[in-house]
Chains A and B, each alone.
Chain A
Amino acid sequence: DIQMTQSPSSLSASVGDRVTISCRASQGINNDLAWFQQKPGKAPKSLIHAASSLQSGVPSKFSGSGSGTDFTLTISSLQPEDFATYYCQQYNTYPITFGQGTQLEIK
């Protein structure tokens, strides 16, 4: 199975900050990577697919980059509603696998 490792596992930031979350795959996955936002008690929300393509309706403050094994999610100008847990997911090879999550907290 392809292992997905996110860093950091938790992150404290302030409203207005710009943050970056990293995701590394244990083997190359081309650009078959998605990012999700999850709030407590809710289903994940898709933000980005194909490493850098924004899902419809997702604000442009979210951006993704990378290919192969190393990927990043950047969130600019943090707002209170952005504080949540973020997951990366590879869908290049079955089984589909997720990172362990990055918990973004208010400083």
Chain B
Amino acid sequence: QVQLVQSGAEVKKPGASVNVSCKASGYTFTSYAVHWVRQAPGQRLEWMGWINAGNGGTKYSQKFQGRVTITRDTSASTAYMEVRSLRSEDTAVYFCARDRSMADWGQGTLVTVSS
């Protein structure tokens, strides 16, 4: 069965960077996109960007352009998302999801930004 397993919770100081991983199994990794979505406490889901796991092409929400980078390692069937220049408003649970219809999701990674 399809599984997306994300890395563990992180606590970061303002201005730092965080890297969240999403390891895929149960399907051909390079045949599907991986999307990243975040959810701040009590807020709606917010799409951040996606990567074509086959060719590595990316697209980002304008809100995060320049501060977020999504990459992938096909040999490890893993996608990564780096968020730089963290601020308190970036405190959220970050999810990866497979494909545009997001039929499958990772379990989420809590990133806490606090001084």
Which A positions have Cβ atoms within 8 angstroms of B? 34, 36, 42-46, 49-50, 55-56, 87, 89, 91, 94-101
- CA–CA, A101 and B65, complex, Å: 25
Most chain A CB atoms below 10 A, which of B35, B44, B46, B105: B44
Shortest Cβ distance from A3 into chain B, in angstroms?
Answer: 11
CB–CB B101/A91 < 8 A: yes
Report if B102 contacts A (CB, 8 A): yes
CB–CB A99/B44 < 8 A: yes
Residues of A within 8 A of B107 (CB): 43
Residues of B within 8 A of A42 (CB): 108
Q: A43-B95, A43-B108 are in contact. Are A34 and B44 (CB under 8 A)?
A: no
Residue from B62, B100, B106, B108 within 8 A of A96 (CB atoms): B100
B: interface residue count bin: 10 to 19
Q: Nearest residue in B to A87 (C-beta to C-beta)?
A: B45
CB–CB B47/A36 < 8 A: no
CB–CB A89/B45 < 8 A: yes
- CA–CA, A75 and B13, complex, Å: 43
CB–CB B103/A46 < 8 A: yes
Nearest first, the 9 A-B pairs at minimum CB distance are A96-B47, A43-B105, A49-B101, A98-B45, A95-B61, A46-B103, A91-B100, A100-B44, A98-B44
- 21 A-B residue pairs with CB within 8 Å: A34-B101, A36-B102, A42-B108, A43-B95, A43-B105, A43-B106, A43-B107, A44-B95, A44-B102, A44-B105, A46-B101, A87-B44, A87-B45, A91-B101, A94-B59, A95-B61, A95-B63, A96-B47, A96-B100, A100-B44, A101-B44
